[in-house]
Amino acid sequence: MEGTTTEAQVRTVSQQELSQLIRRIPVLSKLKEEDLGCLGTVELLEAPQGTVLFEQGSCIQGFFMVLEGEVRLTRVEINGAETPLGIYQDGDTLGEAPLLLGVRKTGVQGLATRPVRMLRVSEEGFWRLMATCPTVRQGVLATTAQRVHAFQATTLHREKLISLGTLAAGLMHELNNPGSAAKRSAAQLRENLTRLQDLSIRFCRTPLTQEQSSCLLDMQKEVLALEKPKPVSSLEEADAEEELGAWLESIGVNGAWKLAPTLVAAGWRRSDIVCAQEAFPGDTLQSALSWLEALISSMQQLTTIEESISRVTELVIAVKKYAYEDKSGEHLVDVHESIHSTLTILGHKFRYKQLTVEKEFAAELPKLKTRGTGLSQVWTNLLDNATDAAPEGSTVRIRTWVEDGLVCVGIADQGAGIAPEIRDQIFEPFYTTKPAGVGTGLGLDIARRIVTSQYKGTIAFTSEPGRTEFVVKLPVDNGREQG
């Protein structure tokens, strides 16, 4: 339902009217008559269906009590989508959570989904009420705790879905590259096999001499051995291709510039083809070199297919380690393996911004003996933040070391740094410096809770322009403490 521009009608409620209306609100129904004065000025808001009662990002307007009607709270995301957060009806209260949490601006939009009548108490009146009436205070705190818990559960679920979507998108991107490479190589291999078959039939129709057979066998042996040295640089490879292509063209080989790159890539030079030039006179040399090029290309395509399948297997193993890291009971956790699995899955993000990952890992890092779970989620959140903060083409540095019985991990980026005025809020739940709809503000809170609760460790950071580093320190043995 879209909101209208209709404004709510507001009037001050008399003490006598308030004593009757307040009984409709369960949490305030036991408030004594003589305590009503602590509420200060109480206003009655009346609004038709479709009225936007308060906008997302507006200042907190006080403590509300719904007498009649229905109010829907939603959060508007950056893409315009609405995330429903709750529906409040007759007798419900709202606005206490942001007041108790010290939030100055509302993070939600309030819409009247039915004609609504509400009482509104100012922030000062709310705090006087909380200070003077223990029964009301207990009810308000219980309601707030329940709503905050439900909101956190919903937002945590959304955070997990976002994280899962990010990982799934990254995994599909990672799988697409080797999959596409294998598909292209398979198509090229099919073409090569067809050419080899045609050339083999041609050789069968014209019996080979002893010298020609020996030459083809020698070249085949060298191709299958795959031990020929390759150029050490792109410039050297380009020079070699130019030299070989010019020579092949000079001796009458058609398509020399197509043959040369394949031969050079396999480490072949003019001296390696001398036997073919001598054994295959005239036009027969063309067939011999075409056969050699098709054979070399086939081996190259097979190598590409093998590497692509190995990459897919590597990704599957990384995902399994990432997803099934959590184990019940006491178990060992390899921190390096956990970081590598996360890096594999997030590899596309680093490549997208052309970031260099610099790893400085301790040679003998002990495994963690723990009952804790979720360590990969810590690395995911820290590395995701590092890639967002890092300038394009910069370096993200990951280092590990042992310090006083603790396994330490540092993740640093070369971004602008964290402003001093917000450093105390970095680990607060729902606090984010990212645009609305991009970050939920739970990544670092989740990382902190996993590190401190699951692993009995610590997480801190240092920041200055050009270098921000988050350091996680985990006890080598915390299994007993968790038991």
Higher pLDDT residue, 129 or 228? 129
Q: 38-42, 126-130, 167-171: lowest mean pLDDT where?
A: 167-171
Across 257-284, average pLDDT: 76
Instruction: Provide the 3-class DSSP secondary structure of residue 188.
Output: helix
**What's the token pair of residue 82?**
């609405």
Q: What gap in Å lies between CA 72 and CA 52, rounded to an integer?
A: 10
pTM: 0.47
Is 6 a residue whose pLDDT tops 50?
yes
Residue 432 DSSP one-character state: -
Across 173-190, average pLDDT: 79
Q: 101-105, 163-167, 434-438: lowest mean pLDDT where?
A: 434-438
49-88: burial string, b at 16+ Cβ within 10 Å, e else:
ebbbbbebeeeebbbbbbbebbbbbbbbeeeeeeeebbeb
Indicate the pLDDT class of residue 48, thresholds 50, 70 and 90.
very high
- Among 9-18, 225-234, 430-439, name the most confident range: 9-18
pLDDT of residue 470: 95
Indicate the pLDDT class of residue 392, thresholds 50, 70 and 90.
very high
Residue 445's Cβ-count burial label (10 Å; 0-12, 13-18, 19+) is buried
Q: What gap in Å lies between CA 124 and CA 122, rounded to an integer?
A: 5
Is 122 a residue whose pLDDT tops 50?
yes
pLDDT of residue 468: 93
Q: What gap in Å lies between CA 436 and CA 56, rounded to an integer?
A: 11
pLDDT of residue 436: 46
Q: What is the mean pLDDT of the chain?
A: 80
Of 167, 153, 86, nearest to 429 by C-alpha is 153
All domains in the chain, ordered by first residue: 9-132 (2.60.120.10), 171-310 (no CATH), 325-482 (3.30.565.10)
Higher pLDDT residue, 388 or 238? 388
Indicate the pLDDT class of residue 482, thresholds 50, 70 and 90.
very low
pLDDT tens-place string over residues 361-387: 988 899 988 877 778 878 888 998 899
Is 316 a residue whose pLDDT tops 90?
no
Residue 363's Cβ-count burial label (10 Å; 0-12, 13-18, 19+) is exposed
Is 149 a residue whose pLDDT tops 80?
no
Residue 104's Cβ-count burial label (10 Å; 0-12, 13-18, 19+) is exposed
Non-local CB neighbours of 120 within 8 Å, separated by 6+ positions: 10, 42, 43, 44, 45, 61, 62, 63, 64, 65
Is 222 a residue whose pLDDT tops 60?
yes
Across 136-159, average pLDDT: 74
The C-alpha angle with vertex 363 and arms to 359 and 369, in degrees rounded to 5, equals: 100
Strands 356-360 and 395-403: parallel
Count CA atoms closer than 13 A to 330's CA, side-chain side.
9
Of 379, 303, 371, 279, nearest to 335 by C-alpha is 379
Indicate the pLDDT class of residue 481, thresholds 50, 70 and 90.
very low
pLDDT of residue 255: 75
Strands 368-370 and 331-333: antiparallel
* 114 contacts 84 by C-beta, under 8 angstroms: no
Q: What gap in Å lies between CA 336 and CA 108, rounded to an integer?
A: 41
Indicate the pLDDT class of residue 397, thresholds 50, 70 and 90.
very high
- Among 53-57, 253-257, 343-347, name the most confident range: 53-57
**What's the token pair of residue 109?**
């939009």
Q: What gap in Å lies between CA 133 and CA 126, rounded to an integer?
A: 11
Instruction: Provide the 3-class DSSP secondary structure of residue 214.
Output: helix
pLDDT of residue 437: 44
Indicate the pLDDT class of residue 438, thresholds 50, 70 and 90.
very low
Percent above pLDDT 70 for the chain: 84
